[in-house]
Structure 1
Amino acid sequence: MCYSVSNPEIQTGRTIQFTPLPSLQMRQHVEYNHTLYRHLDGRWPNPNGFLVLEETGAIKTPSRATTVTMAGGGEESPIINGIVKNDKVPWYRKKNLRNLYLWLVPFAMFIESTSGFDSSMMNGLQALSYWQEHFNKPEGAILGLLVSCYSLGAVSAIPFVPLVSDWVGRRYSIVFGSVVMIIGAILQGFSTNIAMFIFARVFLGHGIVYAIVAGAALLGELGHPKERQFLGSMFNAFYSVGALLGAGIVFQTLQIQSNWSWRLPSILQAAPSLIQAVTVFAIPESPRWLVSKDRQEEALELLIKYHAEGDASNPLPHAEFAEIKKALEIENEGRKRGWLELFQSPAMRRRTLVSGMLGVFCQFSGNALISQYLVPILRMIGYQDSKIQLKFSVGREAWGLIVCFTLASITPRFPRRRMYLLCTVCLLLCYSSWTASQARQMITQSHAAGIATIFFIFLYTPCYNIAYNALTYVYLVELWPYYARTKGITWFQLCSRAASTFGAQVNPIGLRGIEWKYLLVYVCFLCFEIVFIYFLFPETFGKTLEELAFLFESEAESGRELESATQKALGNYVETTEIQEVQGSAKGT
């Protein structure tokens, strides 16, 4: 597709006019000699992205006009996406953006490491004789309570999380949660009885939700549009970093012949939170939060610094800023305050339903059996030695780390709904095979069936990580509009923690009571997940956050308003640029 060129430079200020081929009646938006222009007739481009214009051969143009960038042609896509596609410079070659991402790793990414550390640590503690003796060898409902009280604490924080995040901002909500978790980890490490241990774990769980909700939102709102999906997928992948650290530390403390074999890993659970509290001042606030608080100049400066490397002439931050402002205006027109806004319209109710069920699916797909009760499962299939049990735990977490980061870098490139369907189908096949092999081992004492059970436990990890780990927070940020995003992610956390609490409580009872038959519960539930996802999960792939604010609403009207606002902002920006260039030329003469 190409365009012919007529009068490449018309002396109206420094504006140029280009005429498309007669068969291509496109709106035009031109970049010429590294300067952005709008068409003389005031029309604006469709948001397809920029195409390179070269000589057509039919009309010989001046050499200085042989390469031009123009919007037009093809299937429409968002304006911001068009600008981003034209940016060929990778993030690691942009100093400001590179530094931002490097600081986001310890400040935001490590949040999920705390949860990963907790799961693998509690799994490993069950293999430590000193922990067993100190708490009178807990099993059944008591063991379930010790594990589930972390999620109970998370549920207790739900009403306050969006209030704190929207009031003090994303950064300080993370810090608040981190401080609470540091206190909880210290109390856990110095517990003298089972009641104190439970209270400490409730305290830990209360703090994690503040950090997770704010961290997920901050990554989605601060990241460059090109890397936003990748950042969201990496957020959940860092769960495996904490899980491997927790399993490895417990394995090493197995050699300590005292209560410090379990006290030390309990205290070290505070390490990720301590890192977040220290690095807070290196991270800027969310530009969307700044705009919502009428701090618009700060928001634009932040976008220019990190998304345009300080280049105020770059159209990307101006387009982003315009979309953020307009999206917030549209969202706030019919907005109700409080938790009722999650149920105020059919669109919001569907978001609430999808987010809530996603939270349940993430915790009730059989993963809790592996992450929290691997030791009892290994005992059931004949592995009684504590050292062997912990070796299996460390090996599985190391395998999980590799799988998490690999899939987190791949799956965000594909449509969300398709990945969730693939994930659940794979989980169903894996879990069914696991159930069959464990049943055969326990009935016949077959060594081969025991090995097959271990194989399917390891195979479960990549199946789960296809979507439930790699895409969950990417999908949540895309699913919810800004004004309800923290409430939406908090609702997800509520349902997730409630499912986790229920599962942690009933899993040891089920394993003890009906053994391998208990696995059939998850096989049946996975069938339900497939049906639910197929009929109710919307597709969010390939749109900006602002466009996704109208995922279920009247998208045509809202989308036109967003595009109009973005084009207007770009028009103001172009006119300012033209005036500055004319003034500069006058001074030069």
Structure 2
Amino acid sequence: MTAHSDNSGLRANTNLVKLYLLLIPGSLIISAAMGYDSSLMNGIQGVDRWIKYFGNPQGALLGIMNAILPLGAVFGTVPAAWIADHYGRRWTMLAGDIFMVVFSVIQTFSINVPMYMVSRFFIGFGVTIASSSAPMLAAELAHPSSRTTLTSMYNTLWYLGSIIAAWTTYGSIRIQSDWAWRLPTLLQIVPALVNMTSLYFLPESPRWLVGQDRQEEAREILITYHANGDRESQFAAAEFEEICEAIRLEKTVVSNASWKALITGRPNQHRTFLVFCCATFSQWSGAGLVSYYLAPVLRLIGIESEERITLINGILQIWNMLVAMTGANLVNRVGRRPIFLTATASMLCGMIAWTASGSVFAATRSEASGAGALTCIIFFISAYNICWNPLAVAYPVEIMPFSIRAKGVALLMGSIKGASFFNQFVNPIGLKSLTWKYYIVYCVWLSVALTVVYFMFPETKNHSLEEIADVFEKRHATSDESKVATLGQAEHVEVGEMKEATSNDVAQK
């Protein structure tokens, strides 16, 4: 039995519970910042005062006002990885938080469209810097037994932000001034402020500390949180040894890893390909229609009123979070591949039904077909949230080895935002020009996604972060790099045997 499967002593580990309670505001809350913006933009598109203030933006202008934030996020990719590698995960998040707070305030008091768009650009820049390190810190601090559930929960908190924004917008439409949209816009600073104040109490990643030759600090963190302060714990000692050996091996293979390392050797090429897949499949699946353009989508099926649109948005966000949290808790029990395959196939079926019901409504304008289309929308987004919400970030984080994890996650966040920029810019144009026919594009794309998932996504269930590397090395065992990397496999096995030999001691503790 290795560390990733040993949870016998977790319930008595009060220090680990404290750590997880700190990780919620100190790391996972960053995801709520993007969720807040999504639901905010969804909601205020249904607020008459926002529409009038900015001259009733539609089509390309509405698209760029939404998409400018993920564009800024793309530009944050490189500095995010550099800061995370050189200064640690905590300082990186703090830097991103500062950008988000300052420019959210500027966005709130924007007097014209250019000012509004510039502020959103730099909010996106800050989001990538912060969010590139948040899931890494959670994964690298978590106990092996609960790592996947914790990192999967990261993206589910996206909906915590979206719920707050949706209901704030629903309530603020009654304000008889521009604060009907300025108030929910100002509250966008809340996730960043919560994160900033919580970082002080959160430890740094032990893996990053080992990579900086600060082994004693890393050892103390593992003893404190994974062994509940027991300095004699052989489990913590074995875990520390595995981390040190894995990082030592990676440094011999990739010295001073550059961005080129992401495409050096077939295992890393495969990992990087999966990073792009997770980014594009999660953003180009059609979920962006519900996340950022629910108001125009609802208008296509006959739902027009300001209050009804914002109410549906608020209720839907609560449902989305419940489904996403269910998915996060299923990941360790069911495995990655079954969830990826089942959910993506369900999304394809849901999108086909959505397209068909949308075409019927366009032809008949019947209330029944409109209700049917809304049902299909809810089914589709539920299938998305059971899989792509928790796994779009958690899966890439765990498949990247330590030496390129910061760059890989930064690439993931940049790719997500790049795909989101294109998606958000094109969606309003497609909806305006093609109406329900635009959904056919997503039917085709989901077919491609399902095929790629089936052939290219390996299972990583029941593996530690260090052991997951072996999954890819074995799959591409013919490459020179994998031959070098597998030299460390025997060392990992020895560490695993050491953990197994001490499992009874851990269980007693």
Same fold at TM > 0.5: yes
Partners of 1:123 and 1:465 in 2: CA distance: 18
Query: What CA deviation, in whole Å up to 9, does each residue of 1:255-313 have, x standing for no partner?
Result: 01111111111110000100111111110000001101111011111100000001112
In the alignment, is residue 543 of structure 1 matched against residue 463 of structure 2?
yes
Partners of 2:427 and 2:194 in 1: CA distance: 33
What TM-score results when the alignment is normalised by the length of structure 2? Answer: 0.94
1:446 is aligned to: 366
1:80 is aligned to: 3
In the alignment, is residue 563 of structure 1 matched against residue 493 of structure 2?
yes
Partners of 2:268 and 2:84 in 1: CA distance: 20
Partners of 1:370 and 1:400 in 2: CA distance: 11
Query: What CA deviation, in whole Å up to 9, does each residue of 1:81-133 have, x standing for no partner?
Result: 4xx53x52344x42211111111111111111010000010011111111111
CA contact (8 A) 1:511 1:518 kept: yes
2:507 is aligned to: none
* Equivalent residue for 2:349, pick from 426, 429, 435: 429
In the alignment, is residue 246 of structure 1 matched against residue 165 of structure 2?
yes
Q: How big is the shift at 1:537? A: 1.2
CA contact (8 A) 2:274 2:396 kept: no
2:56 is aligned to: 137
Q: How big is the shift at 1:419? A: 1.3
2:150 is aligned to: 231
Partners of 1:256 and 1:191 in 2: CA distance: 18
Query: What CA deviation, in whole Å up to 9, does each residue of 1:377-436 have, x standing for no partner?
Result: 111211111011111111111111221222221233222122111111000001111111
1:289 is aligned to: 208
1:58 is aligned to: none
AA of the residue aligned to 2:60:
A
Query: What CA deviation, in whole Å up to 9, does each residue of 1:344-370 have, x standing for no partner?
Result: 111111111111111000100000001
Q: How big is the shift at 1:549? A: 2.5
2:505 is aligned to: none
In the alignment, is residue 505 of structure 1 matched against residue 415 of structure 2?
no
Q: How big is the shift at 1:565? A: 5.3
AA of the residue aligned to 1:564:
E
AA of the residue aligned to 2:376:
F
1:330 is aligned to: 249
CA contact (8 A) 1:319 1:570 kept: no
In the alignment, is residue 257 of structure 1 matched against residue 176 of structure 2?
yes
Partners of 1:210 and 1:114 in 2: CA distance: 12
Unaligned ranges ≥5, structure 1? 1-48, 50-78, 574-589
* Equivalent residue for 1:122, pick from 41, 47, 52: 41
Instruction: Find the residue that maps to 2:472 and give its secondary structure.
Output: coil
Partners of 1:504 and 1:133 in 2: CA distance: 21
Partners of 2:128 and 2:39 in 1: CA distance: 19
Partners of 1:542 and 1:411 in 2: CA distance: 11
- Larger helix fraction of residues: 2
1:13 is aligned to: none
In the alignment, is residue 354 of structure 1 matched against residue 274 of structure 2?
yes
CA contact (8 A) 2:279 2:416 kept: yes
Partners of 1:207 and 1:373 in 2: CA distance: 23
In the alignment, is residue 525 of structure 1 matched against residue 445 of structure 2?
yes
Query: What CA deviation, in whole Å up to 9, does each residue of 1:514-569 have, x standing for no partner?
Result: 11000000000000001111111122111111111333224754321222356689
Partners of 2:119 and 2:56 in 1: CA distance: 19
Query: What CA deviation, in whole Å up to 9, does each residue of 1:178-235 have, x standing for no partner?
Result: 1110011101101010000000100110011111111110111001111111101111
Structure 2 vs 1, CA of residues 568 and 435 (structure 1 numbering), >3 Å: closer, same or farther? closer
Partners of 1:107 and 1:341 in 2: CA distance: 30
Partners of 1:170 and 1:497 in 2: CA distance: 20
What TM-score results when the alignment is normalised by the length of structure 1? Answer: 0.81
RMSD, aligned CA = 1.7
Partners of 2:386 and 2:325 in 1: CA distance: 11
Instruction: Find the residue that maps to 1:270 and give its secondary structure.
Output: helix
Query: What CA deviation, in whole Å up to 9, does each residue of 1:224-254 have, x standing for no partner?
Result: 1111111011111101110111100011110
Matches within 5 A, 1:2-41: none
CA contact (8 A) 2:238 2:498 kept: no
Matches within 5 A, 1:81-120: 81=4, 84-85=5-6, 87-91=7-11, 93-120=12-39
Count of residues paired in the alignment: 492
CA contact (8 A) 2:3 2:499 kept: no
* Equivalent residue for 2:329, pick from 409, 423, 434: 409
In the alignment, is residue 418 of structure 1 matched against residue 338 of structure 2?
yes
In the alignment, is residue 491 of structure 1 matched against residue 411 of structure 2?
yes
Query: What CA deviation, in whole Å up to 9, does each residue of 1:423-474 have, x standing for no partner?
Result: 1100000111111111101111111110011111111222002210122222
1:182 is aligned to: 101
Partners of 2:356 and 2:222 in 1: CA distance: 54
AA of the residue aligned to 1:539:
E
CA contact (8 A) 1:233 1:470 kept: yes
In the alignment, is residue 173 of structure 1 matched against residue 92 of structure 2?
yes
Structure 2 vs 1, CA of residues 569 and 514 (structure 1 numbering), >3 Å: closer, same or farther? closer
In the alignment, is residue 200 of structure 1 matched against residue 119 of structure 2?
yes
Partners of 1:565 and 1:419 in 2: CA distance: 31
AA of the residue aligned to 2:188:
Q
Matches within 5 A, 1:344-383: 344-383=264-303
* Equivalent residue for 1:462, pick from 364, 368, 382: 382
CA contact (8 A) 1:161 1:210 kept: yes
Larger radius of gyration: 1
Partners of 2:3 and 2:45 in 1: CA distance: 51
Partners of 2:17 and 2:277 in 1: CA distance: 36
Unaligned ranges ≥5, structure 2? 474-481, 503-509
Partners of 1:570 and 1:129 in 2: CA distance: 63
Partners of 2:48 and 2:369 in 1: CA distance: 28
2:506 is aligned to: none
AA of the residue aligned to 1:126:
Q
- The 10-residue stretch of structure 1 (470-479 or 123-132) with the greater mean CA deviation from structure 2: 470-479
AA of the residue aligned to 1:530:
L
Structure 1 ranges of 4+ moved more than 4 A: 565-571
